[in-house]
Amino acid sequence: MSTVEELKLRVRELENELIKCKQKTDPETPAHVRTKIEEMSAEVVDSNPYSRLMALKRMGIVKSYEKIRSFTVAVVGVGGVGSVTAEMLTRCGIGKLLLFDYDKVELANMNRLFFQPHQAGLSKVEAAEHTLRCINPDVVFETHNYNITTMDNFTHFMDRISNGGLEEGKPVDLLLSCVDNFEARMAINTACNELGQVWMESGVSENAVSGHIQLINPGETACFACAPPLVVATNIDEKTLKKDGVCAASLPTTMGVVAGILVQNVLKYLLGFGTVSYYLGYNAMEDFFPSMTMKANAQCSDMHCRRQQEEHKVATEHPKQEVVKEEEEVVHEDNEWGIEVVDEVTEDELQAASGPKPDLPEGIIPIYTIPPEKSPEDMVEETEQSLEELMAQMKKINLLA
Amino acid sequence: MSTVEELKLRVRELENELIKCKQKTDPETPAHVRTKIEEMSAEVVDSNPYSRLMALKRMGIVKSYEKIRSFTVAVVGVGGVGSVTAEMLTRCGIGKLLLFDYDKVELANMNRLFFQPHQAGLSKVEAAEHTLRCINPDVVFETHNYNITTMDNFTHFMDRISNGGLEEGKPVDLLLSCVDNFEARMAINTACNELGQVWMESGVSENAVSGHIQLINPGETACFACAPPLVVATNIDEKTLKKDGVCAASLPTTMGVVAGILVQNVLKYLLGFGTVSYYLGYNAMEDFFPSMTMKANAQCSDMHCRRQQEEHKVATEHPKQEVVKEEEEVVHEDNEWGIEVVDEVTEDELQAASGPKPDLPEGIIPIYTIPPEKSPEDMVEETEQSLEELMAQMKKINLLA
């Protein structure tokens, strides 16, 4: 019954409606959409997305905020912590982001920030890239939809960490671990020890009420093979964590706080302001935030960690050689704020861990004990016996992201 | 040149494309979109947006997570802290949210989480409601696009706080102040003192590197007329804060952390777990998080505060009467974690403030001094002399959200 004219009108109506709809989601649609900005400006106008960041210079906090554009950060794990971490870095105007994840967005993820219901079914890296590009098209994105712990992917992962910088062939400036399992953490640890790559670890407990961040500079601070990862104790019933076949709890609050303190530490490290934290815990039940530093272990089972320690020693003993960047930062062991962390870990508790005996402040506990014989750099060898043993250990672990 | 068949095909194509596009933004579009859920379930399936929250029960953290649906929270100020606060509460499945703001989204806001460039020009409450409804259609939203400090709006604001609960006629359960100026904070303080409404305040400093949250229970803890709002000192050059005509700095990290600790405190308060914080500060430069409590001042200049103090006294002296809810919570003055807060505020500093002389821990400073004669409940009278005087005070204030 439709005439050609009626149909043509309908086509025009639909085209107009589609343009309006696309303007809401697609960064390429002209009106109301953020276009690329060649140079960061401090001009105070409503249309400048960088005015409030460049104001950090006038406020005396950061010397050169524009430097943010020269840095590349790799985010491994784009879940509850990783996605918010990537969003914060994108909004801060980071130069380049590499995103690694192999998971899909599910409605079950909607209790955390960032992903939205209409993205259910998409790969997390694909969905994240789309949203992040809309938010800030000045950032360069590189995404990898794979599991870094399989042999082939691990090789590719190592290659991208070494060569995926803003200028191809240069390494990334920092790697952030926002993964939810032990195996992925150990793969990152192995890669960073081998490459001498500075990285930061993050984690949130299975009961959703504690989390932490940790800076690892290979050769200087303890790696995951030097000492088990640490968590903030929450004094909850251990039995509730040990049940099989139940999902972990998570909260947007705890994950938002962990992402916030992680990216704050990244900004302080890259832009050189404030005190970079080596370990910062968050216990939501008590609003308790312990901090500490742990030196690398000379008897570490990871040969690359031991090599990095030798190199670090040479670099600090011969200061005309390049000194590792964060040596400039003040470690707040002598803290002026009067926060006192008391070592009350018993000898028995320390005996239970086969790694070094760190001076753990009250409320911080090792997450597992390291198997004495096996070397964790074997972790990425898929068929090694040690992997299965460590997989058994994994079940005891209550960290996720 | 088009035939009817060709045009019909084009119409179908456009209709399909439009549906796909709408699915990304419109909560009413069927496929891939989150539909309303009658009852919260703990079932562990990918399609259940509440599984990770209901798991808090199994983990022994929360007794009845479902109760979250019975609560109404008012968020005043939907900026860098308020928008993330509203998103976290929405994802947690709060019963009802009231949003108050009179600002528009600008590209200059893109350095904080939540709003996206395509929303530039929309009112913040309208843009926020659209996004939040997509994220969780189970939440009831009520938005008010006005400035609460004008006379008429203040009256309407008071009415909605008193009657805008999930069941019309019942008050909200909690009010959150996420505003960026002194006048709005004092209007909220006045309203909550008069209504006996429990509220939480939040703020971020102009230099973007410190923030705080504070719980105010009228009659129990110090209100804004009892003692000036407190901030975490950041030891930066005061001169950089005093320049006129420059915009404040802000960071998504600091605002994300403040929103996170704020909503965490809301969840602890409403669902009854952990220790509710009365004051929690965040100094990003040192990763320092001071906490404290301040009692209401018997000589407070706000008559409604003094009345609330009397009523609170009666309620606690005669326990058969309804005891104020958060009396059950443990205040961590004797804290088991070994965090020591030292009072090193000088007598001169205390003399400078005309309010009560609180025992301020090191690193916490009053944000301004209270004018001795004028009563802050006059704040909402538009033509009062005291308003202008306090407006002059406002210029000294370095809090924003």
Alpha carbon A174 to chain centroid, angstroms: 9
Segment among A214-228, B15-29, B197-211, B376-390 with least mean pLDDT: B376-390
Q: How confident is the model at residue B318 (pLDDT cuts 50, 70, 90)?
A: confident
Q: How confident is the model at residue B23 (pLDDT cuts 50, 70, 90)?
A: low
| Interface contact A253-B267, CB threshold 8 A | yes
pLDDT of residue A23: 64
The position carrying tokens 């967005």 is A105
Residue A320's CB is within 10 A of a number of other CB atoms, namely 6
- Which one of the listed residues B21, B92, B192, B247 is annotated catalytic? B247
Burial of residue A399 (CB within 10 Å: 0-12, 13-18, 19+) is buried
- Which one of the listed residues A192, A247, A300, A305 is annotated catalytic? A247
| Interface contact A49-B111, CB threshold 8 A | yes
SS3 of residue B303 by DSSP: helix
B74 CA: distance to closest CA in chain A (Å): 18
Q: How far apart are CA B137 and CA B1, in angstroms?
A: 46
SS3 of residue B216 by DSSP: strand
Q: Is A247 among the residues known to form the active site?
A: yes
A53 touching B (Cβ < 8 Å): yes
Contacts of B112 in chain A (CB under 8 A): 52, 91
pLDDT of residue B352: 46
Contacts of B32 in chain A (CB under 8 A): 117-118, 120-121
pLDDT of residue B330: 38
Q: Specify the higher pLDDT residue, A306 or A294.
A: A306
Q: How confident is the model at residue B369 (pLDDT cuts 50, 70, 90)?
A: low
Please, what is the end-to-end C-alpha distance for chain A in angstroms? 57
The structure tokens listed for A339 are 């926060």
The structure tokens listed for A384 are 């090694």
Which whole number is the average pLDDT over A268-281?
Answer: 96
| Interface contact A8-B11, CB threshold 8 A | no
pLDDT of residue A234: 67
Q: How far apart are CA A40 and CA B358, in angstroms?
A: 44
Q: Specify the higher pLDDT residue, A117 or A371.
A: A117
Residue A362's CB is within 10 A of a number of other CB atoms, namely 17
A211 touching B (Cβ < 8 Å): no
Scanning every residue of chain B, which has its alpha carbon at the shortest distance from the alpha carbon of A23? B118
pLDDT of residue A381: 39
| Interface contact A290-B87, CB threshold 8 A | no
Scanning every residue of chain B, which has its alpha carbon at the shortest distance from the alpha carbon of A275? B286
Scanning every residue of chain B, which has its alpha carbon at the shortest distance from the alpha carbon of A333? B286
Q: How far apart are CA A35 and CA A51, in angstroms?
A: 16
Q: How far apart are CA B315 and CA A90, in angstroms?
A: 51
Contacts of A337 in chain B (CB under 8 A): 283, 286, 288, 290, 362-363
Which whole number is the average pLDDT over A59-67?
Answer: 95
pLDDT of residue B303: 95
The structure tokens listed for A297 are 């272990």
The structure tokens listed for A89 are 């870095």
Establish, for the pair of chains A and B, how many residue pairs have beta carbons separated by less than 8 Å.
356
Q: How confident is the model at residue A231 (pLDDT cuts 50, 70, 90)?
A: confident
Looking at residue B247, the DSSP 8-state letter turns out to be: P
Q: Tell me the pLDDT tens digit for each residue of B333-360.
A: 333 333 333 333 344 543 444 444 456 7
In sequence order, what are the beta bridge partners of B293?
A: none
Mean pLDDT of chain B: 81
Segment among A46-50, A166-170, A354-358 with least mean pLDDT: A354-358
A50 touching B (Cβ < 8 Å): yes
Q: Tell me the pLDDT tens digit for each residue of B222-257.
A: 998 888 777 776 655 555 554 555 688 999 999 999
Please, what is the end-to-end C-alpha distance for chain B in angstroms? 58
| Interface contact A59-B263, CB threshold 8 A | no
Is A283's pLDDT higher than 60? Answer: yes
Q: How confident is the model at residue B289 (pLDDT cuts 50, 70, 90)?
A: very high
| Interface contact B249-A52, CB threshold 8 A | yes
Q: Tell me the pLDDT tens digit for each residue of B133-180.
A: 999 999 999 999 999 999 999 999 999 999 999 999 999 999 999 999
Bridging pattern class, strands A96-100 and A140-144: parallel
- Which spans in A272-384 are helix H? 303-317, 347-352
Contacts of A11 in chain B (CB under 8 A): 7, 10-11, 14
pTM of the model: 0.80
pLDDT of residue B7: 76
The position carrying tokens 């995926």 is A164
Among B341, B189, B346, which residue's Cα sits nearest to residue B280? Answer: B341
A394 CA: distance to closest CA in chain B (Å): 19
Contacts of A336 in chain B (CB under 8 A): 286
Q: How confident is the model at residue B319 (pLDDT cuts 50, 70, 90)?
A: low
Q: Tell me the pLDDT tens digit for each residue of B70-96.
A: 999 999 999 999 999 999 999 999 999
B6 CA: distance to closest CA in chain A (Å): 10
Which whole number is the average pLDDT over A168-185?
Answer: 95
The structure tokens listed for B212 are 């705080």
Is A294's pLDDT higher than 90? Answer: no
Q: Specify the higher pLDDT residue, B207 or A385.
A: B207
Q: Tell me the pLDDT tens digit for each residue of A72-102.
A: 999 999 999 999 999 999 999 999 999 999 9
A74 touching B (Cβ < 8 Å): no
Look up the ipTM and state it: 0.79
Which whole number is the average pLDDT over B102-127?
Answer: 95
The structure tokens listed for A201 are 């670890």
Is A212's pLDDT higher than 90? Answer: yes
